[in-house]
Copies of this chain bind each other. A is one copy, B any other.
Amino acid sequence: MRGIVPQKVKGFRDINSTQNALREFIIEKASEIYRRFGFSRFDSPILEYAECLGKYLPDNDSVAQGVYSFKNPEQEPVYDTLGKEMRDSANNVIMENHYLAMRYDLTAPLARVYAEGLWQQHLRGEIQGKTNLFRRFQYGPVFRFEAKLDPGRFREFWQMDFDTVGTEDVATDAENCMILSQALENIGLKRGTYLIKINNRKIVNGLLAFIGISNADDETAVMRVIDKLDKVGIENLAKELGKGRVDETSGAQIPGLGLEEKNIDLIINYIKDFEIHLTRKETLEKLKGKPSFENQIYKEGVQELEKIDEILTNLGFNEEVAIFDPSMVRGLGYYTGPIYEVESLQTYTDEKGRQRKVGSICGGGRYDGLVENLLGIKVPATGASIGIDRLAELLTLTGQAPKQISGPVIVIVFDEKLMPLYQKTAMQLRNAGINTEIYYGAKRGLKHQMSYADKNNCPLAIIIGEDEAQKGVATVKNLKLGKLLSQQISDKNEWKSKVQTEISLENLAQEVKKLLFE
């Protein structure tokens, strides 16, 4: 007979108090910087109409792949391109269960938010010229159904985005990089332990235009191959641009894009040109020194990087913080201009003793076409995102996470009859602002209570037996100190005398506060 196994959905996870504290810490510190630059918090729902989110995920050609999507339980009208309800031959409104999708990032929903705000005006033909500025930050879970799930990766993870919609000024792109830098440093990363790599999609598009690739789908296809550089290496990359290759580990046939040999060489040489470390100025010079495929889009791309360099330099964000990396392209389909990615340079030792890096912890860029796809009007926009969970992983693996927060003081249930006294005592401590738990577990043995206290990181235990109750005192056991001293003091009585104190119930809150905070 069929049964139920209580388990998390595969690829999902529970988050314990330590992990939550770390998420909260990152969110608090990054929010501070996002607000410092004038952003305010905004939230959109977890669910959206699938068609409003569009199809921008890397490695997936349809919204159904990579996205948790399902039919809305209720039927709603189908609309035409003018926003009018469509009708069948009998003049009945055509109804349908539209597809809903759990958001796969926080950028696509933002485009919906902005487009929705202008929709009625748009239908009335009232939008002339430029549209309003909208800046917001948002954090929370996003959902991706990755068919093959790498170890340590999850299908629900947290991101923290800030975006500016309604400006084409690339000064905002420079600002995005400064925000990422300041947010990471506010979280505790030292300068030099992370590196912002900046590029411009226009430069790569210019290069592709030179070899005759200029439609968006083909551009995206090449970008996605180039995006694999770090994963597969330059030789395999060349094969994927050409005739395809066989994957070494899985033996799977990976189809190629079928580019001509000379065009593949051109792309590969371009990538190799920037493999060596160059300053931002040197990179700009080298980019400008490629007149062979200089076209309008390419030139614009280089000019924008020049402007970004000027601003960063002017404000003290030097080469240690941000470099230009012309071979960095990012996988998402919606980028149109400057793009950036933050790489952690710190290494940690994994369980097999290997030196490893967490890799990319932030990313972003300009997506001038995303709102247009919904609204039919060009609305420039740009933003970036901190991968909260990836950053949390980095902080944990490199020992940079804030110390574990202390659990509550625990009132031990030593004698059931004294429960009212325990409750009064706990209330007295709580009223003094001390986090206090009465042990209410079903297993009431003292040993079990102590192990519960230990597991929950309780700093102190309050023990009141009949004797203590009659004397009006409590035995306070310093669990934290006890753990520490148990390694230094072997004599049990000596240890006890240092770790346990008798305190009058009257002064208990005051004395406990001293033990906790002094």
Contacts and interface: CB of A to CB of B under 8 A. Distances in A.
Interface of A: 1-10, 12-17, 19-21, 24, 35-38, 40-49, 51-52, 64, 68-74, 76, 78-83, 86, 100, 102, 111-113, 115-116, 119, 129-133, 135-136, 141, 143, 145, 147, 156, 164, 166-169, 171-172, 175, 310-311, 314-315, 374-375, 380, 407-408, 410, 419-420, 423-424, 427, 430, 433-443, 452, 456
A138 B171 CA distance: 40
A120 to B, nearest CB: 11
Copies in the complex: 2
A1 B166 CA distance: 29
Nearest to A441: B133
Contacts of A74: 10, 145, 147
A423 B311 CA distance: 8
A6 B119 contact: yes
B83 A315 contact: no
A2 B86 contact: yes
A234 to B, nearest CB: 33
A132 B168 CA distance: 58
Given A168-B442, A442-B380, A42 B68 contact: no
Contacts of A102: 46-47, 102
Given A68-B47, A164-B440, A167-B442, A81 B40 contact: no
Given A13-B45, A68-B47, A442 B38 contact: no
A41 B19 CA distance: 9
30 contacts: A1-B81, A2-B81, A4-B51, A5-B119, A6-B116, A7-B119, A8-B45, A19-B43, A20-B41, A20-B42, A36-B434, A37-B436, A38-B407, A38-B408, A40-B407, A46-B46, A46-B156, A64-B73, A69-B70, A70-B71, A130-B441, A132-B441, A133-B440, A133-B443, A135-B437, A166-B442, A167-B441, A167-B442, A314-B423, A314-B424
A44 B453 CA distance: 23
Contacts of A76: 10
A156 to B, nearest CB: 5
